[in-house]
Chain A
């Protein structure tokens, strides 16, 4: 896949797939490297994954959440998320706050969103975002 984005934002379900040694998810990481694109995670994902893993896995897993990969949720992202959530609510689509923050992070940073969450599929049509979905990873 070629694109003009600066990298990939991996949703929490993709990070878990990597931790589970899932070949499709690992291929995304290798693809990014070969394309000279960077891999990023939201601090939302950092929290969700590290809060759910076993204590003895924590020190190993936290290596992937270095500052070079993690994007903080700042005011710009929060406001974009609020805007998306409000727009979608008016259209009858309810999006959970962590989901919309991750979407807003990818949109704000011009990243390809990688997720197996089918609830995120609307972002391609409605916001012109690039999404690698469950069917592709």
Chain B
């Protein structure tokens, strides 16, 4: 049995308006009702990840790795 459900015209209109206002042109969306967000299912952008590259100062990466190593030691095996 298919899980596809027909949207009411009003909801479809509101969604189209929302997408237009947010410059979303994709035809596939992920609607997260818990977070109350709409996400482009075909969004492969990584700008948000690349924007944080290099924020650590010299030596801080090793400190962070040590922090994680120590925190994992506390977990069970």
Contact = CB atoms under 8 A, between A and B. Distances in A.
A34 B39 CA distance: 20
A96 B52 contact: no
Nearest to B37: A67
A67 B35 CA distance: 8
Contacts of B50: 26, 29-30
B68 interface: yes
A16 interface: yes
A101 B64 CA distance: 20
Given A57-B55, A67-B35, A19 B61 contact: yes
Contacts of A91: none
Contact of A19 (B54, B67, B68): B54
Contacts of A42: none
B33 interface: no
Contacts, number: 99
A68 B43 contact: yes
Nearest to A97: B75
Interface string B35-74: 1010100011110111111111000110111011001110
B5 interface: no
A33 interface: yes
A29 B75 CA distance: 29
Contacts of B55: 19, 57, 60-61
14 contacts: A20-B61, A21-B53, A26-B53, A32-B44, A51-B71, A52-B67, A60-B52, A60-B55, A64-B49, A64-B51, A69-B48, A97-B76, A98-B71, A98-B75
